Amino acid sequence: MQMSEKLQHSKPNGMTDAEWAARLELAAAYRVFHFLGWTELIFNHITLRVPGPERHYLINPFGLNYEEVTASNLVKVALDGQIIGDSRWGINRAGFVIHSAIHAHRDDAHCVMHTHTTSGIAVACKRDGLRGDNFYSAIVVNDLAYHDFEGITVHEDEQPRLVASLGSHHAMILRNHGLLSLGASVATAFRRLWQMQRACDVQVLSDSMAGESIVLTPEIQQASGRATMSVGPATGMEQMIFDSILRRAGIALDDLV
């Protein structure tokens, strides 16, 4: 990431460039979610691993709206939810349980995103979940897991079942609950969640219309999944997508310190 002079100067003493860059990128992601309306009061999380050998993660300060999150007020935590260093803010430890399970289990899960959007929960409430019969769901169903609902508070004893449900997938519908994506970067996790969200939006609307939906064959779904590699991490297109939505939302990193 190109860092302006202002961003370099505003970096707290003793913090690595890599952590500061991660904080800025994660703060930007929270602002994007706010822009898209993917927020639920002060709840839900986007978490990002701090580069380095320690398994430390950044999470939103509990009590703030997403548009109030900055690089500086993000809270650094260990996998058990203990806060690392000083923080004026606490975290929602119960909410972190889902994220910490996935961060601990999957080395490729540098970023984990979870939402409670209306259409996401609506599809999550349906026994058949997401059908692969629209442009986006045909992509998503190739790499989608499901986890059964065990109650609104996820306790640590649910973590092994959660990661078993996830397996090697990169997206998961938490039944009756919401959507989750992961990726090696913010941009990758965002691209996956965008596709899931669009898939759910379209399914909710098409199911409300008269007439039958057209079924897509497994072959077409698989071809759709392969085709999405054209926007995958190797192409740089995910970062282009993420950067473009920052511009559209008017989010400048200089304003996020």
Size of the site for Zn ion (CB under 5 A): 1
Site string for Zn ion, 164-203 (x = CB under 5 A): --------------x-------------------------
Nearer to Zn ion, 58 or 98 (CB): 98
State the minimum distance, in angstroms, from the CB of residue 178 to Zn ion.
5
CA angle, 202 then 204 then 209, to 5° = 95
Please choose, from the candidates 229, 212, 219, the residue with its C-alpha nearest in 3D space to the C-alpha of residue 132: 219
Nearest residue (CB) to Zn ion, 11 versus 114: 114
Query: Which CB sits closer to Zn ion, 178 or 183?
Result: 178
Write down the least CB distance from residue 167 to Zn ion, Å: 20
Distance between CA atoms of residues 138 and 221, nearest Å: 5
Q: How many residues does the chain have?
A: 257
Q: In angstroms, what CA-CA distances link 212 with 55, 128, 131, 199?
A: 49, 16, 13, 17
Question: Which of 32-51 are b and which e, b meaning 16 or more Cβ less than 10 Å from the residue's Cβ?
Answer: bbbbbebbeeeebbbbbbbe
In the complex, minimum distance from the CB of residue 152 to Zn ion, in angstroms, rounded to a whole number: 8
Min CB(103)–Zn ion separation in Å: 16
Residue 234 C-beta-side C-alpha neighbours within 13 Å: 3
Q: Quote the least distance from Cβ 98 to Zn ion, whole Å.
A: 7
Q: Which is nearer to Zn ion, 50 or 162 (CB)?
A: 162
Q: Would you tell me which residues interact with Zn ion (CB under 5 A)?
A: 178
